[in-house]
Structure 1
Amino acid sequence: MKTIFTTAALLLSALYASTSLAQNPLNFGNNIRTADPSGHVWADGKMYLYTSHDEECQLDFHMKDWYAFSSADLVNWKNHGPILKISDLTWADNFAWAPDAAYKNGKYYLIFPAGNGYKDRVNPEKSTKWMGLGVAVSDSPTGPFKDAIGKPLFTTPYANDPSLLIDDDGKAYLYFHGMNADYQVAEMADDLLSIKGGLQKMDMGGYEPKMEGPWVFKRNGIYYFTMPENNRSLAYYTAKSPKGPWKYHGIFMEAEGGNNHHSIVEYKGQWILFYHRWLDTPETKCTKKQRHVAAEYLHFNADGTIQKVERTDEGVGDFPETVEKQK
């Protein structure tokens, strides 16, 4: 009898372990549909993700608010959203797309795209859609955030998908996806409420594929410009300066059907790739794939190049155990 109970206990333990490690997509609770994760670690030592929010089974990215989530172990997440809504803005009425965040001057900043108009996918020449980048500020990393300038940073070019790098010297650089204006950078004013010096086209080494959703970070003195090449596969460049010139290194995560949008952050000694997946949702009445934020470990070679990343069901579900083993 004792043997039977022991065997049953071991089986239950194994089942629990396998379930606890299956953390892709990340569990934010309430089946919320999220995408475009921007990861940041603030002074309290927690990981914060700032995301866009897909309405259930939405037809065409008509999105109305932004969310924040926090975690100390990348397994258990707290929902702090919505932290800003389209209805809080006077200059836009739609398209609450991929945000980024920053901390500077004792304040938390949310850099966000928003816009108005209509995108006609059947007859593109009839489209009136426009998007620009706004800045919202809060005393807390979880908001609420308030539109700080009451207008976009600039109206030309059409722009979305901001990535904001605060360098070691405190200077801030804004990268984005722009209409006929990709691979550009703007240095921001010290208060992060305007840009100075205009937009600067960067030297990408002669290779400039269609892209969106750039994410720029720094590691061991090397700057990494990463982005979804052709809006699908994650690829990257490196440089010795935040403005380039950049050297292309290729794709580190292959495409999986829909678009991808990501961020790369070091947390407790591990580099983490946050991204989104398009997954079936049979528990709902939606017949199309929907977006969900996921995460994987990301590793570098000795020369600083990025190793290929495969999507997994486990993701970073063993992060607490991994961190414990490092001690």
Structure 2
Amino acid sequence: MKSTIATALFFSLATASCLAQNPLHFGNNIRTADPSGHVWPDGKMYLYTSHDEECQEDFHMKDWYAFSSSNLVDWKTHGPILSIKDLTWADNFAWAPDAAYKNGKYYLIFPAGTGFKDRVNPEKSTKWMGLGVAVSDSPTGPFKDAIGKPLWTTPYANDPSVLIDDDGKVYLYFHGMNADYQVAEMADDLLSIKGGLQKMDMGGYEPKMEGPWVFKRNGIYYFTMPENNRVLTYYTSKSPKGPWKYQGEIMNEEHGNNHHSIVEYQGQWILFYHRWLETPGCHKKQRHVAAEYVHFNEDGTIKPIKRTTTGVGDFPERIKNLKK
């Protein structure tokens, strides 16, 4: 009897351990944030992230990483795939990247900058940021700065989101200083923009935001973002340039900023985001990449998403059951 109980307890604990995958287990102590999720021709899920320095006081960040998985549970680390030291035009602020695949090449669209942000006396700040483009023959790099300069210098810009539409056109969304809710169409080689920046119609509601992520599902375009840099909210449209209709909250606030991506993988829609969690050895909460399932209503609106400790830990079993 004791043996039976012990065996049952073992399997119960093993199952709980298997499902407890939030934050995601990257197999090391690297601190990551701002996950950009993509599925490439090899069928794997790739996450492109920023890299927080251990116990960092501020967002002085120096490189970018990638992680790959076939089951969203077991992850392989790649990187750094690009570093600030590889750039001639920036020396800091290796913040939230995005990635794209086109013409047989992999592109990393990344923000970087110079100067100093004075949080005590903001009027003394000299910080500037712009968007660069790096290219590789491999989804895991190494990536090489392809143009040796930012795509533009004014306005200040970071947090890129790239959408390649069904017709092959490439759209670049971003967070900009006094320039939010704008879009640029990129050239076919993704090394420049054409036609300048275009202000989009957001239906009259334009709160403070950062980290836009735009995706398409069933003919509907979704413009998602951390509203007031904290709460994930979204708009929908029938066009990649709007006009957009505000749809409300997806995920509520937790301690600090959030930054995310939403992507379909093997028939399941997944939200990748970061959490601020107590971290051994650090005197303040640190950022860790996590994931949750995304569910849609029949009209295409997104159901509210809660943070969980299990995340997508049951993904391998879920997919196995779908294939039966």
Q: 1:321 is matched with which residue: 307, 314, 317?
A: 317
The one-letter code matched in structure 2 to 1:243 is: K
Structure 1 equivalent of residue 38 of structure 2? 40
Equivalent AA in structure 2 for residue 44 of structure 1: D
Cα offset, 1:6, TM superposition: 1.5
Matches for 1:190-269 after TM superposition, within 5 Å: 190-269=188-267
1:82 pairs with 2:83: no
Deviation (angstroms), 1:7: 1.3
Q: Compute the displacement of 1:30 (Å).
A: 1.6
Distance 1:252 1:174 in 2: 22
Mapping 1:97-136, distance limit 5 Å: 97-136=95-134
The 5 A counterparts of 1:33-182 are 33-182=31-180
Shift of 1:218: 0.2
Aligned to 1:217, what secondary structure does the other structure show?
A: strand
> Letter of the aligned partner of 1:290 in structure 2?
Q
TM-aligned CA deviation for residue 194 of structure 1:
0.2
- Measured in 2, the distance between the counterparts of 1:28 and 1:91 equals 31
Following the alignment from structure 1 to structure 2, what is the Cα–Cα distance between the partners of residues 28 and 118? 31
One-letter amino acid matched to 2:170: A
For 1:310, the equivalent position in structure 2 comes to: 306
The residue type paired with residue 323 of structure 1 is I
Tell me the secondary structure at the aligned position of residue 48 of structure 2.
strand
Answer yes or no: is 1:297 the counterpart of 2:297. no
> Matched residues in 2 for 1:117 and 1:305: separation?
41
Letter in 1 for 2:152: F
SS in 2 for 1:322: helix
Report the AA paired with residue 116 of structure 2: Y
For residue 92 of structure 1, report the CA deviation from its aligned partner.
Answer: 0.1
Which whole-Å CA distance do the structure 2 matches of 1:229 and 1:239 have between them? 18
Residue of structure 2 equivalent to 1:25? 23
Separation of aligned partners in 1, 2:75 and 2:150: 31
1:59 shift after superposition: 1.2
- Runs ≥4 in structure 1, deviation > 6 angstroms? none
**Letter paired with 2:295:** H
Aligned length: 323
CA distance in 1, matches of 2:14, 2:30: 24
Q: Deviations over 1:157-214 (max 9, x none)?
A: 0000000000001000000000000000000000000000000000000000000000
> C-alpha displacement at 1:255, in angstroms?
0.5
| Structure 1 residue runs without a partner (length 5+) | none
Measured in 2, the distance between the counterparts of 1:244 and 1:19 equals 44
1:29 deviation in Å?
1.7
Aligned equivalents of 2:128, 2:6: Cα separation in 1: 60
Identity of aligned residues (%): 83
| Structure 2 gaps, min length 5 | none
Deviation readout 1:11-42 (Å, 9 max, x if unpaired): 00001110110000001122110000000000
Q: One-letter code of the match for 1:261? A: H
Displacement of 1:236 after TM fit?
A: 0.3
1:5 Cα shift?
1.1
Give the TM-score normalised by structure 2.
0.99
**AA paired with 1:244?**
G
Three-state SS of the structure 1 residue aligned to 2:59 is coil
RMSD value, Cα: 0.4
- Does the alignment pair 1:9 with 2:1? no
